[in-house]
Amino acid sequence: MLVQVRDKPDARRVSSAFGEWSPLLRSLVIIAALIAGFAHGARAHSLDEVDALLKSDEKYFQTIDKPAPDFTLRTADGRVVRLADLRGKVVVLHFIYTSCQDVCPLHAEKIAEIQKMVNGTPMKDQVTFVSITTDPTRDTPDVLREYGPVHGLDPVNWLFLTTTQDQPEGATRTLAEAFGHKFTKTDDGIQTHGIVTHVIDKEGHWRANFHGLEFAPINLVTFVNALTNNVERPHHEQETGWLAKLKNLF
């Protein structure tokens, strides 16, 4: 199935158009262009086109094409959440544990930055952000509740999940391994594992990984933007209309 971006600019072209601007200003202009794109019929990109653009522009991007590993987990308030419950939403998912003092807080804040960008557009109601703890013993409900506000994550479309009461302590680490992570756990509880942001489409299909912390947030937002659209056939019209006019202004 081809999933296309309707009316939205790709990150590379707009970024190059404003290459000398500050990162914050460029991001604001790109987000404004994304918002404007929802209201116009200028042009569409297929998911294949977005894949190709990101592969050439974002070295930390990896295309995936298979069903996402299934899960049944729970929130700090005891609500059970299954992957199937998130159908109809694009899911941005990552694994962390709250006692991690180095890369996990940075990863959470990166997700919060992406969430803020997404939530500034009409995509807000179409995307769910999911953090999963790999240390459910120490990440108690009270700890899980406090983590999001500290790192800027908005509960309006963010979930922090842990194991259910009948699951073994290592269940979420096993899930992380199904997503391609390799764990080394020391006696003092430190976990060594990769830092990856996973993207799952509305049908529960695993579509991409963004590796590490150095990828450009706008590139992930652009990819998510493609997945929030359900246009079935790609268009290859010459770039015209509102996006071309926007570029010409600068």
pLDDT (tens digit per residue) in 162-221: 999 999 999 999 999 999 998 777 666 667 777 999 999 999 999 999 999 999 999 999
pLDDT 10s digits, 109-153: 999 999 999 999 999 999 999 999 999 999 999 999 999 999 999
What CATH number matches the domain at 59-215, 3.40.640.10, 2.40.50.140, 3.40.30.10, 3.40.50.1360?
3.40.30.10
Q: Tell me how far apart the alpha carbons of residues 128 and 231 are, in angstroms, rounded to a whole number.
A: 21
By the 8 A CB rule, do 132 and 171 touch? no
Q: Which residues, listed in sequence order, are joined to residue 91 by a DSSP beta bridge?
A: 128, 200
- The predicted pLDDT at position 51 comes to 82
pTM reported for the whole predicted model: 0.77
pLDDT 10s digits, 61-105: 999 999 999 999 999 999 999 999 999 999 999 999 999 888 999
Strands 72-74 and 191-192 come out as: unpaired
**Residue whose token pair is 């963004």:** 210
Strands 205-211 and 127-133 come out as: unpaired
pLDDT at position 246 over 50: no
pLDDT at position 238 over 60: no
- Identity of the amino acid at 44: A
Delimit the domains of the chain by residue range: 1-55+218-250, 59-215
Work out the angle at residue 189's Cα, subtended by the Cα atoms of residues 171 and 145, and round it to the nearest 5 degrees: 65
pLDDT at position 13 over 80: no
pLDDT at position 26 over 60: no
Closest CA to 107 of 121, 96, 91: 96
Residue of 227 and 35 predicted with greater confidence = 227
